[in-house]
Amino acid sequence: MSQSKLRLLDLFSGIGGFSLGLERTGGFKTVAFCEIEEFPRRVLAKHWPGVPIFYNVRTVAYDGPVDVIAGGYPCQPFSGAGKRKGADDDRHLWPAMFSLIKKHRPTWVIGENVAGHISLGLDAVLADLASEDYACRPFVIPACAVNAPHRRDRVWIIANSAGHGWEQGLAHSGGFLEGTPPREEFGFGDGGKTLANAPGSGLEGKQRTLVERSRIRLANSSQWETEPAVGRVVAGIPNRVDRLKALGNAVVPQIPELIGNAILQSMRAA
């Protein structure tokens, strides 16, 4: 593995949770963001001065080399809190992210979405990636797996275009969450539940079963009976509503950090 850092194009960037976590590994460097909301754009500009921030994922004009594309594409088309219109939802932006993947051909792709994506739209995402010769695996990793004080089940998709020994470093889940303290308690004793072996494999029912099994173990765990109140932003702080919205939309940075370390480990093992 080269000593140079992997160049990251961070899409749907929000307040930079992906970049914060991945850069904390020491092996990634953000080369560009894309974020449409004004307040998060100001946060990104403050903490990553000089890094370009594109406005619309459909018109990103970054032309430099990219090793990693990461992003939590909008969840509204798949979330149980909405109408679940999937590809018919105007906010379905996976195709825009996929266009950038085809353009830049990064070695790694990291995606994130809500657990409702498992039963709606995930197979299409995996099929798209497979059509471009990416090997990919989705995992359900809740926020509490990295000691965050809330459950927050999320689907994380990790895809690789070049081998890099990733079958040892990522797909074999025993190494994926190695060293994560609470993984036994939360149903991730094998390092994260792999949801599908291949796009269109007919595993949708099994995928749902794996998610429900994880939720049952969480509900029966001794850490808490109900999710505790999560302190976020106190009253009187400037831009409180914007901050709350940005935090609600953000990924927990420790999970991209975990994934980033696994990627670097798999590349060193190649």
Catalytic site positions: 75
Size of the chain in residues: 270
Expressed in percent and rounded to 5, the helix, strand and coil fractions of the chain are 40, 15, 45
* Strand partners of residue 6: 28
Neighbour-count burial of 4, counting CB atoms closer than 10 A to its CB (0-12 exposed, 13-18 middle, 19+ buried) = exposed
Reduced to 3 states (helix: H, G, I; strand: E, B; else coil), residue 10 is strand
Structure tokens at 217: 């173990």
Q: How far apart are CA 257 and CA 263, in angstroms?
A: 10
Question: H or E stretch including 18?
Answer: helix 17-23
How far apart are the C-alpha atoms of 74 and 42, rounded to whole Å?
20
Nearest Cα residue to 48 out of 91, 82, 8: 8
Our separate counts of H helices and E strands in the chain read 8, 8
What angle in degrees, to the nearest 10, is found between the helix axes of 38-47 and 240-249? 80
Distance CA 250, CA 267 (A): 27
Q: Phi first, then psi: what are they for 75, rounded to 5°?
A: -90, -15
**What amino acid occupies position 88?**
D
CA–CA distance, 87 with 100 (Å, rounded to integer): 18
